Every structure is written in structure tokens, then in C-alpha cells.
Amino acid sequence: MFNKSALGTAVAMALALHSYQIQAQQAEENVSPDDIEVVVVKGLRGSLARSVDLKRENIQVVDSIIAEDIGKFPDNNVVEAMQRISGVQVTDRGAGEVSRVSIRGLDDVTTTINGRNIFTASGRSVALADIPASLLNRVDVYKTRSARLIETGIAGQIDIHTQRPFDFDGSQVVLAARGIYQDKSEKTDPNISALLSNRWQINDQKFGALLNVSYAETHYRDQSVTAGAMVPFFSANPPPGFTPFERIPTVINGQNVWQPGLETGLPFTSGSTLPINGVQYDYLLSRDAVFASDLTGKRERPAVNVSLQFAPNDRSEYIFEAFYNGFRNESNNSLLFSFVDWWGNLGANPGSSINLFEGTNIIKSRTVGAPYMFTSGDLLTGKTDSYVYALGGKWDLSNNLRLRSELVYQESKYEESFFAMRTERVADSVTVDFNSGNGLPAFSFGPATDVADATQWAMAQLYDNANSREGDALTWTLDADYRLNNGVISNIRFGGRYDDRDANEGQRTQDSPICFSGNAACQIANYPGLLNINSGFFDGKSNVPRSWVAANGYYIRDNADMFRNIYNQEVNAGMLTGDALQLTRNFEVNETTAALYAEAEFELELAGKTLDGEFGVRYVNVNTDMQFAEASASASTSKFLPSLMLRYALTDELLARASYGETLRRPGFAQLNPTIIYVEDVTNIGYGTASGGNPNLDPTTSKNYDLSLEWYFDDASMLYGAAFKRKIEGFVVDFRRSVEYEDYTYILSQPDNASNGKLEGFEFGLVYFPQNLPALLDGFGIQASYTILDSSQDIPITNNEGEVIGTSNTPLFGVSDSSYSVVLAYEKDKFDMRLSYVWREDFLNNYEAPQFANPLGVYRNPEKSLDFQLSFAATENLSITFDATNLTDEVFQSYYQYPSTHNFGSSIYSRTFALGFRYKM
């Protein structure tokens, strides 16, 4: 395993190698890096024009976004900037931003910075949202892969280019600041950046230095209302020994009555029955709970990029770069939760309050007497520090041979703590409409229940968790280009990459039962700062409580040892305190990857037109040593990955491309951990859940086919269409079975390579700035894209013993059948502005825990966002900016497969409005 003390040796190796891998190589694969002209892009139109040129010049299928000027990306992070790229979808909006990106529907993306693979903590990928847009020069999205690109990432590769001193002719100083207002949190946050760069020349020697820093702060508020999972209830005519509208257990008299976790859920047509003691009885489907979440928090993201370049002559060049990005987050969640599955206290006419969805057995609304309810206040604290150091060089050994090499060391650590307290009570009643309209739940409590009255609540359970995730890697690359002076083969590239990666995770978990209010120390009145009351919840969008009492997460965290000792004293909780709070290491993994590649560029004439391209193969060998809490394992895999890319110039403006390549996705390190974690039942279903990993998982592989036709009909304008297909083998899916642990039943889920799938579709794009428009419209342009996807995967169906009893065919997770974006741009004199709209169709997001009677699949409703950016050049050096996001104040929703009857969650997030300036000298 790699020891951090080896960094000095690594630096010495790099100095000996004089290594560097120039970033422009990835931007224009068919052009020598030394032949690339540094282009400083200015303005919205210039940015789009350059992205059009990069797509046209590249042999691979690549789409790019480019800063409109130095330090000018009108977005908060990389993910938000990418949503305007054709074929790219973003999701997981929350905490004041979007955080997840997918390419053509797949989210297995390899991310590099200046060609270097990066990661966050023990993960395979990087938290893209942690990278500020203000540090970027451009972002390239590779939808096809050459042999010399890193083999991982079925979806594609995102290469982030930062600024370098040799990008500029001389000195550059850029200062930028924005104040960003979040309307839900009612806070204005700073987003500041600075770039200092210069270059000097003494005789033939050139030297450059650049410092780029950024700091962003965000106060956010996310609010959601959720109708809980479905479970079956008896009707008004139950079997002997049962109560009307009683919740039906899974097993009665030793016989299985109903199976939780079915792909399509229990039948919900009117009159559906279940067997009880050999007799069929009608049942109803209703929710087990209804709850509301009010999440507030503060996030900070500092980032620094340092770049030093030195060219002693025109045949060699050296570079040192350091990149740091950090993450600090504190979030307090105030949760209001009420069970609605109690069948007692229903009065003399228990069915009078129940209303069904027409033609179904699903309860739409009801009143429940004496429901148990609780609030929970919890504080989640997270911290990430990630560092990347690179030392390298490139040199021309002859007129035909160029050598590049680089040594990279990176380390990343994430730490998290969670502290929560519940308060509880029994309400007099709760009246709930699970879908009061447009998928929004509504609920209210009886007259004797005031959820905002602190005197009506009692201290309950305490939860105390923490974890850490760490990773580091030492990577060495060597690449060579050899130009041939004649013949069909014009250039040969070959090289290798060696990566030594370590990862580990640790955690601690403890909790306490209810601190009974009869105990003197468990009286809420003893702790004046314990409770917090929120206000203005959900903006009046649904008839739900606007405020309630919950534990103050900051207060309980700041007094954590006091509460641990109180629970130890009053209920003998056995909670650790002080220095005894230590993390237990879950696993340690060391993985070495060795890759070799060779590829050739060719050019010939076919039917009087130019046909060029490249073909190659990449060989990769991976050895993984794993040490877990109670076991160890090793694995070794190797793979040859061929690739072929053809480009045919039908005319000077019309290009056709065809591509074939193979890529793979390695399982996450946590997925390899066989340690089983057991979680007891918290929703009265009758059994708990358990999960563990599988050290025998293989990489998922994909065969990728692409065709495209591109028409470059004017300056800064293009129209294109593409067809693509991915044949994917070995998707990792969970196998479920029933197990007994410490005299309790659990449903255990463990992963296996048990699914195959496919993804195919079409992609269309347009960038157009019309010529010869009337003076007022001159400067108008449009950027638009539309993607059509069709996906499927086979998922095995298992019984309680884990035996495969069938196969279900579902869409791939996270894939919308269609999506589009439209950007209306206008650039005139000192003004440029952009109005952008993105939309994606509903999609299967995840599978619910297999404990309930609803369908397993959780779908997201169509997602959309309308954003606006405006820039005014007040002087030659000073620009004023205004931008806004989520202008239409959307409600983001989810459902269980059938949106009209199986609605699930509804969430609202902030609109943002930002005013800023950028000063350049």
C-alpha cells in the first residue's frame, strides 16, 4: 500500500522524468499540442463559436462549454454549467444547487481535471458540485472514447480545464464577486474569486505563474411533504379476530399473507383480495405515515488552483500544479412525522372518514384517531478536503517524436457527524388527504393537538453517528506521439498509466431508547434552548402545518456529552462519551491499475472526399486487495478495450462520424465490503432491513456504438444529429433474502452482477446566430438540444430465500425518455444576456426498501428550470452581472410508478437572484 512519505520520492521521480501532459491534447486529438493556438474567448457568442470549433476539429464526439471571458462562467458550479450541453441531464436539486450529472441518461461519468483522474474521499468519482465554476477555462464532455483516454465511465468522460499562465500573453488580474440571494432561506451569500497570472521571458526561456482562488457560501432551505409508503388494511368486514381497517401483517398463523417489495406492488383494483386462513378477504391500500421536512443549512466551498510553467527552450516545457477544493456543511433538519396506520379510536362508524380513489382499493383520505407522532431535530456536519499535486513535462526528442509524462499525487478526506433527538406525543386525531391535488399531500391535526406548543411534547430517542471516508492515489503517466511523414497512417500514439490507490472508511453508531418524561432529567423545561420552532413552511402550497416544535440540532450537538450522560443515567443507554468516541474501520482497500495503449491516426481519400480517424486498443489490469472488519479478499481483472473512430468530410461543411468503443465501470469500494449492517424496524412493518457488500463483484462493461452527422453552415453555427447505442453487461443489482439475526427477522440485500441492459437513442443540437438581421435583432442567437432515449435492464426477482423466481424488465435508473434545453442569447454592444430553459421527462430514480405494498420503483416527475443571465460592460475593465435560477419556482415531485394514485414526495427549493461584478486589468 502507498505510504504518504513516498511523496518525496514521487517528486524526485517526476523531476527526473521532466514530465508533463499538456491539456490541449485532449481538446484537439488530431492536432499536435504545440500547433494549438491559445485562444482567449470573449463574449457569449465567442464562447459558443469556440465550442463549435472544438466539436468540428476533434476526431472524437466532444461537446464543450467555454468561459465567456477569464473567470466568467455564469453558474455556481460545474454541474449547473453543464446542463446546457446537449445530451447532458442534471438532477438532485437541493441545498441551493443541482449536484448530479448524467450523459445520455447514464451517471457513471469519469471526471478529470486537466486530464488527471480525480475522486472525492473513498469514492470512484468526484463530487462535481464542489468544483466552482469561477476556476474554469472550459469543460469538455467526451461521448466517445479513444484508447488513450481513461477506460472507466460508461457514460463518458468530463475533462475540466483550469487556467494556466501560458494561456495569456502577459499579466492578468481578475477579481469577481457576486451576492446570491436564496429566497427560501432569505439570505444573501458571497461568491468571490480572484485570478493573478503573469509570464516572463528571458532570452529563449519562458516562465509563468498563476494563482486562482475562490470562495462560495450558501444558506439554503429545502422543504418537502411526503405521503408515506403503502401497506394493506382490512376492509370494514375483516376475518374473525380482527378489527375493521386493521393493518394486515405479512404472516398470520404461520402462513404468508402478502409479499412486501413486489416490483409492481400489491394489486389496487377495487375488490382485490388476500387469503386469510384459506378464505379470500377484501383489502384496502393506504399509507403508513405522512411527514414534513424543513431542512436548513449553511455550506462553504473554498478552492485554490496554482500553476507554474517553465519552458527553457522551444523543445521542452515543465509544469507544477496544485489544486485544492474544500467542502464545509452544517444542516439542521426539522422533521414532523405522524403515523396514519392506527385502526383503534375510529369511533362508532369507523369507515365514515375513508374515501377511495375511484375504481381502486386505495384510500385517498381518512381520519385516524390517537396516532403516535414525533418530531426530530438533527444536525448533520460534513467536511471535505481534497488536494491534487502534479509535476510533469513534455519535450520534443526529434521533429517526429514527442514525449510527455506526469506524476500526480492526490488525497481526499471526508468527515461527517450526525446528532439527533426525537420528541414525541399522541395526537387526538389526524386528518389526511394523500393527494389533495397535483400530487400534494395535505394533513392537519385535531383541536387538542398544537404541534407548535412546546408543552405538548416529551423527549424521546437519541441518535449519535459519525463516519469518515479517505482516499489517496499516486499516478504516473507516460505518453508518446510519433508523426509519420507519409502514408495513410499519419500519427502513432502509445503510452501507459500506473495508478496506486488506497481507500478506507470508518464509522461509529449509537442510539438510546426513549427518555421517559416521568424522569426528572427528561423534562424538556429543564433545557431552555432545546426546542426550536420553524415558520412559514411550504409557502402555503398545500394545507399542511406551517410550523412545529423540534429539537434544535445546533443545541443538542453543542451539548452532546451532556445529553449522552443524561440518557445513560435515566435509561441506562450505554452511550459512549468524550475520548471513548472512536470510529471503527469498516474496510481498507488497495488497488493498483496498470494500463497500456496504442492508437494510430489515419487519413485517406475516398470517393474524392477525406476520410480520417483513429483506431487503437487499451489494455488494463486491476489488482485489488481488501481488508474488512472480519475478513479479507483479493481480486484481479484484466481487459482489452478496442476503439475505432471514423470521420468523413461529405462536403466542406458536412461531417459524418462513426465510432465503436468499449468502456467499463468498477464497483464502488463500499460495494465490496461483505460486512452486514442490521437496521431494526422503524415503521411497524414487522421486520428490519440489512445490507452488505460482495467482494466478488466484477466490473460492468459496455459496448458503445455512435453515428453522427454535423452541418457547419455558418460562423458560430451548426446543426447536428446523432444516434447511439450502449450494450451493457453485468449491472450490479441487489439480491434480497430473509435472514434471522439475534432472534429478529431481517430482509438482507447484497449486490451481484446479475443484470444486463441497453441504452439507445438520438440526439439533436443547434447553435445558430443569424446574419443580416435588423439592427435591433442583430446579435440574437439560439442554442438548443433534444435527446430521445430508450433504455431497459433485466432485474432478477427473488423469493424470501434469495432464489431467482423470475425476471423483471425495467428502464435504467435515472434515464428520461426525452429531454431538451433551449437557450435564447442576445449580445449587443455592452450587453449580453441569456434566457435558458431545461426540461426532462419523468424517470425511474431508485428502488424503495422492499418492505411495503407499493411498487418498488420511485419515479421523479418531469423536472424543469428557467434561468436568466445578464452582463453589462460598464467600462473596458468592469462588468456588472445579474443572474437568476429556478424562476418559475417549481415543485419537484416523485411517485411510485402510477402518478395519479401513488404520489410520494413533493419538494420546493430556493429561487436564486445574484448581483455581481467582475474587474479585469
Alpha carbons within 13 angstroms on the beta-carbon side of residue 437 total 3
Query: pLDDT tens for residues 161-207?
Result: 999 999 998 899 999 999 999 999 999 999 999 999 999 998 889 99
3-state SS of 563-621 is HHHHHHHHHCCCCCCHHHCCCEEEEEEEEEEEEEEEEEEEEEEECCEEEEEEEEEEEEE
Q: Which residue has the cell 491539456?
A: 23
At residue 26, the pLDDT reads: 35
At residue 801, the pLDDT reads: 65
DSSP letter (8 states) at residue 896: S
Q: How many CB atoms are closer than 10 A to CB 615?
A: 18
Q: How many helices (H) and strands (E) does the chain have?
A: 6, 47
At residue 682, the pLDDT reads: 65
Identify the three-state secondary structure at position 134.
helix
Mean pLDDT of all residues belonging to the chain: 89
Q: Is the pLDDT of residue 580 over 90?
A: yes
Average pLDDT over residues 70-81: 67
At residue 20, the pLDDT reads: 32
Query: pLDDT tens for residues 402-420?
Result: 999 999 999 999 999 999 9
- Dump the DSSP string for 209-273: EEEEEEEEEEEEEEEEEEE--EEEEE-SSPPTT--TTPBPPSEETTEE---TT-SS-S--BTT-E
Query: pLDDT tens for residues 87-142?
Result: 888 877 778 787 788 888 888 899 999 999 999 999 988 888 888 888 888 889 99
Average pLDDT over residues 675-681: 80
Measure CA 141 to chain center.
16
Average pLDDT over residues 329-350: 88
- Going from the C-alpha of 398 to that of each of 210, 401, 432, 483, 595, the distances in angstroms are 30, 5, 78, 10, 26
> Any idea which of 126-135, 533-542, 597-606 has the lowest mean pLDDT?
126-135
E-state strands within 741-830: 745-768, 780-798, 804-810, 818-828
At residue 685, the pLDDT reads: 65
Residues with Cβ within 8 Å of 694's Cβ and at least 6 positions away in sequence, in order, are 671, 672, 674, 750, 751, 752
CB 591 within 8 A of CB 504: no
CB 590 within 8 A of CB 636: no
3-state SS of 814-827 is CCCCEEEEEEEEEE
Give bridge partners of residue 141 from the DSSP assignment. Answer: 63, 158
CB 230 within 8 A of CB 435: no
> Any idea which of 77-86, 451-460, 824-833 has the lowest mean pLDDT?
77-86
CB 307 within 8 A of CB 162: yes
CB 633 within 8 A of CB 675: no
Q: Is the pLDDT of residue 13 over 60?
A: no
All three cell numbers of 801, joined, read 430465500
Query: pLDDT tens for residues 760-776?
Result: 999 999 999 998 889 88
Alpha carbons within 13 angstroms on the beta-carbon side of residue 85 total 29
Euclidean distance between the first and the last CA atom of the chain, given in angstroms as a whole number: 48
DSSP letter (8 states) at residue 150: -
**pLDDT > 70 fraction of the chain, expressed in percent and rounded:** 93
At residue 1, the pLDDT reads: 40
CB 911 within 8 A of CB 887: yes
B/e letters for 526-564, b = 16+ CB within 10 Å, e = fewer, are ebeebbbebeebbeeebbbbeebbbbbbbbbbebbeebb
Query: pLDDT tens for residues 37-46?
Result: 334 445 778 8
CA distance 303 to 384: 11
Q: Is the pLDDT of residue 387 over 90?
A: yes
Average pLDDT over residues 790-803: 80
- Going from the C-alpha of 343 to that of each of 151, 202, 365, 774, the distances in angstroms are 57, 86, 14, 72
What strand order describes the sheet that includes 442-445?
355-356, 363-369, 429-433, 442-445
Q: Is the pLDDT of residue 385 over 60?
A: yes
Determine the Cα angle at 470 with ends 468 and 474, to 5°: 175
CA distance 12 to 693: 39
CB 892 within 8 A of CB 882: no
Determine the Cα angle at 425 with ends 424 and 431, to 5°: 115
Element spanning 15, H or E:
helix 7-17
CA-wise closest residue to 752 among 796, 793, 792, 791: 796
Instruction: Tell me which of 566 and 14 has the higher pLDDT.
Output: 566
Average pLDDT over residues 608-633: 92
Q: How many CB atoms are closer than 10 A to CB 671?
A: 16
CB 151 within 8 A of CB 664: yes
Q: Is the pLDDT of residue 632 over 60?
A: yes
- Going from the C-alpha of 312 to that of each of 19, 22, 158, 315, 713, the distances in angstroms are 14, 16, 32, 8, 43
CB 879 within 8 A of CB 870: no
